[in-house]
């Protein structure tokens, strides 16, 4: 697992480095999405999570959820077009689960992609994401995860 400036980037995930989103293939044609540990650390403690509703079709490049911290409000964009089939109800009660466990309990949505194979080609596998994240962190002046 790459660890870049103290930020974990699990091997088994796929990453959209530009949008700071991870993807986990669930084996049934769906994918789970979440914010990376890098995004969670950069944002600060999350205080709100507003997913798009289950059943909503999301175009590629558009927001599947909005998250808010004390210093930032922003969309979580998906590179894969598809339909939202699940949202993380636990985040409604405790959005900071994203900060505490971004790759587990802090997941955001589950999507049934329209053309996953095409979208997947735009993502980096976990084992290859280290240098891309190092460059992004340096570019943004981010010192790392605590």
Q: What is the pLDDT of residues 66-93, one digit of tens each?
A: 999 988 899 999 999 999 999 999 999 9
Average pLDDT over residues 97-106: 96
Residue written as token pair 């914010």: 35
Rounded Cα–Cα distance for residues 134 and 85 (Å): 33
5: confidence class by pLDDT, cuts 50, 70, 90? confident
pLDDT for the residue numbered 136: 86
Helix, strand or coil for residue 73? Answer: strand
- Of the candidates 139, 117, 125, 105, the residue with the CA atom closest to the CA atom of residue 22: 125
- List pLDDT tens digits, range 15-46: 999 999 999 999 999 999 999 999 999 888 99
The CATH topology of domain 3-114 is OB fold (Dihydrolipoamide Acetyltransferase, E2P) (2.40.50)
pLDDT for the residue numbered 78: 96
The pLDDT mean for the chain works out to 93
Rounded Cα–Cα distance for residues 62 and 92 (Å): 21
User: Above pLDDT 90, what percent of the chain?
Assistant: 76
Q: From residue 87, give the alpha-carbon distance in Å to each of 31, 83, 90, 118, 124.
A: 12, 11, 9, 24, 24
DSSP state of 127: G
60: confidence class by pLDDT, cuts 50, 70, 90? very high
For 115, the token pair is 């053309």
pTM: 0.94
């Amino acid at each position: 697992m790459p660890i870049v400036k103290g930020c974990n980037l699990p091997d088994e995930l796929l990453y959209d480095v530009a949008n700071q989103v991870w993807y986990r293939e669930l084996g049934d044609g769906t994918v789970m999405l979440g914010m990376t540990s890098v995004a969670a650390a950069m944002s600060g403690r999350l205080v709100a999570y507003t997913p798009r509703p289950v059943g909503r079709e999301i175009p590629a490049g558009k927001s599947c959820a909005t998250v808010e911290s004390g210093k930032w409000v922003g969309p979580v964009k998906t590179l894969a077009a598809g339909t939202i089939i699940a949202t993380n109800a636990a985040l409604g009660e405790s959005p900071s689960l994203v900060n505490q466990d971004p790759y587990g309990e802090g997941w955001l949505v589950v999507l049934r992609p329209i053309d996953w194979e095409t979208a997947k080609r735009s993502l980096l596998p976990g084992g290859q994401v280290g240098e891309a994240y190092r460059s992004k962190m340096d570019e943004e002046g981010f010192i790392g995860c605590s």
